[in-house]
Amino acid sequence: MPRRKSNETATLDTKGAKIGEPVPKAIIDMKTASVGIPPQPDQELREELSALRQQIDVLQQQLFDGARSLKGGARKAIRQTEAAVKLYPASTLLFVAAVAGALAFAGRRASLPRHRHQSALREFRDLYDTIRERI
């Protein structure tokens, strides 16, 4: 015979851990024979946060100083280049032309097909054909 359904429901234990919750790790203190994490004062947390904020402020200041020095260095290089162009316009023009020519020559040299192997192969075939005709 099947069991009868009971109308009573079991009460759930709400104090314990629930299914799917992470299990906390326990710290066992051998001196006091207690289990758990001892309560920590809130002041340490505030001190750590203030120290972290100070470190962040110092890092931000260093970044701003570095950006300013890079910007100043770029401005200095631009001014020096402008001064060199004003003082030596012909030399600057020759230098720019030489650089452009070198880049053009390097680009053309890289884009040219390599015919050395093909011409050597062609000569070898011609030599082979002439030898074959003689035989």
The dihedral through the CA atoms of 119, 124, 128, 134 has a sign that is positive
pTM above the 0.75 mark? no
* pLDDT tier, 134 (very low <50, low <70, confident <90, very high otherwise): confident
Lowest mean pLDDT segment, chosen from 34-43, 64-73, 88-97: 34-43
pLDDT greater than 70 at residue 93: yes
Tell which wins on pLDDT, 117 or 66: 66
Question: How far is 96 from 88, CA to CA, in rounded Å?
Answer: 12
